[in-house]
Amino acid sequence: MQLSKSMLKALNEQVTHEFYAAHLYLSMSAHFESSNLPGFARWMQLQSKEENGHAMKIYKYIHERNDRVTLDAIDKPPTEFKKPLDVMKQALEHEKKVSGLINNLYEMAVKEKDYPTQVMLQWFITEQVEEEKTASDIIELLKQVGDAPAGLIMLDRQLGARAGE
């Protein structure tokens, strides 16, 4: 079974959305680098890498279905950010938006009775729950820290310990 034209278009768009997320988080990482928060910077850089992985998962899937990806332009991400709490809130909002996009894709796959795409998307649905939870947890920690510099330094160390390269 071939991907429908509308499904191919929507999956292609999702590849671009995931690359945009990678761009956004890398921009946040650059902000943290220049804010003397290397742990936050590392965490965001790894997050950006994960988003690249998400884009490539869909990229590979489209080709597995014997179709082809058409890459599109990636929007310029914001480059100016506020406090860590605001940045993490912005990241959470973005994840919620992505969850909505994934849910829309799934709905489309259900309507079209495209079972392989449903199975592929299930991984993303689970991933989105995790991504939203992780961002929310960091927001909670940041709220507890408030304006205490010592707390922020500790949290920076904690985030910097995130596994990955």
List residues binding ligand FEO (CB under 6 A).
18, 21, 51, 54, 95, 98, 131
Tell the smallest beta-carbon distance from residue 98 to ligand FEO (Å): 4
CA-nearest of 55, 51, 62, 58 to 5 is 62
Tell the smallest beta-carbon distance from residue 20 to ligand FEO (Å): 10
Q: Residue 18 or 114: which CB sits closer to ligand FEO?
A: 18
Q: Residue 20 or 152: which CB sits closer to ligand FEO?
A: 20
The residue whose two tokens read 């950010």 is: 81
Tell the smallest beta-carbon distance from residue 69 to ligand FEO (Å): 16
CA–CA dist 67, 8 (Å, integer): 8
What is the rounded end-to-end Cα distance, in angstroms, of the chain? 38
Q: Residue 7 or 15: which CB sits closer to ligand FEO?
A: 15
CA–CA dist 38, 159 (Å, integer): 9
Q: Which residue is nearest to ligand FEO (CB)?
A: 54
CA–CA dist 82, 158 (Å, integer): 21
